C-alpha cells in the first residue's frame, strides 16, 4: 500500500501552494495564472491516474494484493497520492480566493450551453 501523506507534509504543501498564489512584494497571482497552474496540477493527477489504471485488475474490479505489493505499483500509487494531495491543497485556496471569477466562468459556460 502506498505511503500516506503525513499531516506535516500536507501542511507544508498548503504553505507552498499559498506561497505560489502570493508572489513577492504583495503581488497576487491573477486568475488566469492560477487557472493555468490548476490545469497543470490536474494534468499531473490525470497522468498519475492513467499509470495506475494500467495495472491488471482482479475479477471483482480492484487491484490484486500481488500487484499491490510490487514496487512499480507502490511508486505509481505514491505518485498519485502526492499529486492528488497537491491538487486538494491548491483547490482549498484557489476556490476561496477566486470564488467570484469561478462562478462567473461557470455561469458563462451554462449560458453558452443553454442559450445557443
Residue ranges covered by each domain of the chain: 29-114
pLDDT value of position 43: 96
CB 86 within 8 A of CB 44: yes
pLDDT value of position 3: 64
- Counting as low any pLDDT under 50, the low residues of the chain are 1
pLDDT value of position 114: 87
Angle at 57 between CA 56 and CA 58, to 5 degrees: 130
pLDDT value of position 23: 57
What does pTM read for this prediction?
0.72
Amino acid at each position: 500500500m502506498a505511503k500516506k501523506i503525513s499531516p506535516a507534509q500536507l501542511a507544508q504543501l498548503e504553505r507552498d501552494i499559498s506561497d505560489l498564489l502570493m508572489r513577492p512584494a504583495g503581488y497576487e497571482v491573477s486568475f488566469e495564472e492560477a487557472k493555468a497552474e490548476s490545469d497543470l496540477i490536474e494534468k499531473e493527477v490525470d497522468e498519475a491516474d492513467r499509470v495506475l489504471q494500467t495495472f491488471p485488475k482482479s475479477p471483482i474490479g480492484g487491484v490484486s494484493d500481488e500487484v499491490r505489493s510490487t514496487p512499480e505499483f507502490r511508486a505509481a500509487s505514491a505518485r498519485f497520492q502526492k499529486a492528488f494531495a497537491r491538487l486538494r491543497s491548491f483547490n482549498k485556496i484557489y476556490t476561496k480566493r477566486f470564488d467570484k471569477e469561478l462562478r462567473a466562468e461557470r455561469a458563462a459556460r451554462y449560458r453558452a450551453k443553454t442559450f445557443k
